[in-house]
């Protein structure tokens, strides 16, 4: 019943082993059935007896075969089982599936991958591998590498006005993990709720729901969250805000509104979770400092290296009030032990040796140029359109008074080869932002941006 293929790259021993093992699962052999002796099998297959002995030994060691002395080799008992009838299961569409080939995607997610500092990162990785003491290759503390936390606390104070000791920082696998763990820690029951800016990123909203809490929308306008609309009937577990560069509307929260948020959190005895994901890139004026600096006891600050460097690194962090650090550290340990120490060490050197500052300066020029290209192209093709949002980050919002961005229009535009993101998709309260779309430009070259706006114009002409 067995065969061998001498042309195959798979060894003869492996072929015999696999055929018997698979034959058992496919019920070609039954339990207790006697197999031919290795001598008989070898001669029928025209191979050496050693090959058969080796394959049998492995099957015996793994429990598939039993040897009965002076009797022979048998298929072991208790190893066959009825396989489940395979049911056709629905295949869930994944993000980005079924997109037409050369589509220009204005998704505000990725930074400029074409400018990742590959050479420097590669050199520093090599240096870390060569110089780092052996202990760094073992498990390390769940809070993350001390060196990185120390370097980061200085960097955050200087650049973002974040006031913290290195021990208050926990390195996470991106802001995503930090936000999920914060929700798990302080809002994991369905009788709790989180107040979020509306509109807000769909992903962050889903993260909060996944952790167990209800999500309560608080309207935001072009200046960010509207403090007068904060819920007073019930205390939220926390209030989620992106005060430096609101996503998607792109506003920067004024100091007056910031003070109102502080008063609210004190009055309701609750926390504020501040997401500060792209504010290093400000193209006009000076970047406004974090709200964490106003009240480090009540604000949990979340940052990431996904936009400033690359999301592929999966390095983010949470800056916590000291009384939350222990529980967060424990949760991180049971989630994934810790984020890669080696990548953290490389990043620490990258910051310490001044490469991050240099990279940010370089990228600011690139993104500023990409933003200008986008705004100029928009003005050329759509003189009536209004550009919304602070000149910062890697996206902007455009309002087209004539257009309602329905699902159909989005699809029509996709057929024209351009993907845009209606603000309504990010809104909890529907109907407020129907004329607005988010256009991310961080990962698109100037040529692609111009072409994308041209396609947008062609697509919308078909509609109007």
Ligand X SMILES: Cc1ncc(COP(=O)(O)O)c(C=O)c1O
Residues near ligand X (CB under 6 A): 109, 174-176, 201, 204, 242, 247, 275, 277, 304, 306, 311, 316
Nearer to ligand X, 65 or 397 (CB): 397
Chain residue at closest Cβ approach to ligand X: 174
Smallest gap from residue 279 Cβ to ligand X (A): 11
Nearer to ligand X, 110 or 445 (CB): 110
Distance, CA of 145 to CA of 278 (rounded, Å): 23
Smallest gap from residue 443 Cβ to ligand X (A): 12
Nearer to ligand X, 236 or 243 (CB): 243
Nearer to ligand X, 277 or 350 (CB): 277
Smallest gap from residue 303 Cβ to ligand X (A): 8
Smallest gap from residue 247 Cβ to ligand X (A): 4
Nearer to ligand X, 171 or 242 (CB): 242
Helix axes 49-61, 12-25, angle to 10 degrees: 50
Of residues 221, 238, 218, 228, the one with CA closest to residue 301: 238
Smallest gap from residue 10 Cβ to ligand X (A): 42
Nearer to ligand X, 140 or 173 (CB): 173
Nearer to ligand X, 341 or 443 (CB): 443
Residue 141, classified by CB atoms within 10 Å of its CB into exposed (0-12), middle (13-18) or buried (19+), is: middle
Smallest gap from residue 152 Cβ to ligand X (A): 14
Distance, CA of 32 to CA of 26 (rounded, Å): 15
Nearer to ligand X, 35 or 346 (CB): 346
Smallest gap from residue 142 Cβ to ligand X (A): 17
Smallest gap from residue 203 Cβ to ligand X (A): 6
Smallest gap from residue 111 Cβ to ligand X (A): 10
Nearer to ligand X, 169 or 242 (CB): 242
């Amino acid at each position: 019943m067995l065969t061998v293929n001498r042309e195959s790259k798979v060894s003869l021993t492996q072929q015999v082993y696999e055929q018997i093992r698979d034959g058992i699962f496919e019920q070609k052999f039954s339990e207790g059935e006697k197999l031919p002796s290795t001598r008989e099998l070898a001669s029928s297959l025209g191979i050496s007896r050693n090959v058969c002995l080796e394959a049998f030994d492995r099957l015996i060691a793994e429990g598939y075969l039993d040897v009965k002395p002076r009797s022979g080799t048998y298929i072991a008992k208790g190893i066959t089982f009825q396989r489940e009838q395979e049911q056709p299961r629905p295949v869930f569409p994944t993000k980005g599936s079924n997109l037409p080939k050369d589509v220009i995607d204005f998704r505000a997610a990725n930074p400029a991958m074409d400018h990742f500092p590959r050479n420097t990162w590669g050199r520093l990785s090599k240096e870390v591998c060569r110089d780092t003491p052996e202990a760094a290759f073992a498990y390390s503390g769940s809070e993350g590498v001390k060196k990185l936390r120390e370097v980061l606390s200085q960097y955050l104070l200087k650049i973002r006005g974040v006031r913290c000791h290195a021990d208050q920082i926990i390195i996470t696998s991106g802001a995503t993990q930090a936000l999920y763990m914060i929700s798990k820690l302080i809002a994991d029951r369905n009788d709790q709720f989180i107040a979020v800016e509306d509109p807000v990123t769909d992903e962050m909203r889903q993260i909060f729901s996944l952790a167990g809490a209800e999500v309560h929308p608080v309207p935001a306008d072009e200046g960010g969250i509207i403090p007068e609309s904060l819920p007073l009937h019930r205390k939220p577990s926390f209030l989620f805000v992106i005060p430096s560069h609101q996503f998607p509307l792109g506003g920067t929260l004024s100091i007056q509104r910031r003070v109102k948020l502080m008063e609210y959190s004190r009055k309701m005895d609750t926390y504020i979770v501040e997401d500060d994901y792209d504010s290093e890139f400000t193209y006009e004026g000076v970047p406004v400092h974090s709200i964490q600096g106003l009240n480090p006891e009540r604000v949990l600050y979340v940052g990431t290296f996904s936009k400033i460097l690359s999301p592929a690194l999966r390095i983010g962090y949470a800056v916590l009030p000291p009384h939350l650090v222990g529980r967060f550290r424990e949760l991180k340990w049971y989630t994934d032990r810790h984020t890669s120490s080696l990548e953290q060490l490389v990043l620490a050197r990258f910051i310490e040796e001044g490469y991050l500052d240099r990279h940010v300066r370089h990228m600011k020029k690139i993104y500023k140029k990409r933003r200008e290209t986008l705004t100029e192209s928009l003005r050329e093709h759509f003189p009536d359109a209004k550009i919304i949002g602070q000149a910062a980050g890697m996206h902007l919002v455009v309002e087209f008074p004539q257009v309602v961005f329905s699902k159909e229009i989005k699809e029509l535009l996709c057929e024209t080869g351009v993907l845009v993101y209606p603000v309504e998709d990010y809104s909890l309260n529907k109907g407020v932002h129907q004329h607005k779309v988010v256009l991310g430009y961080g990962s698109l070259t100037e040529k692609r941006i111009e072409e994308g706006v041209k396609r947008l114009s062609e697509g919308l002409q078909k509609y109007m």
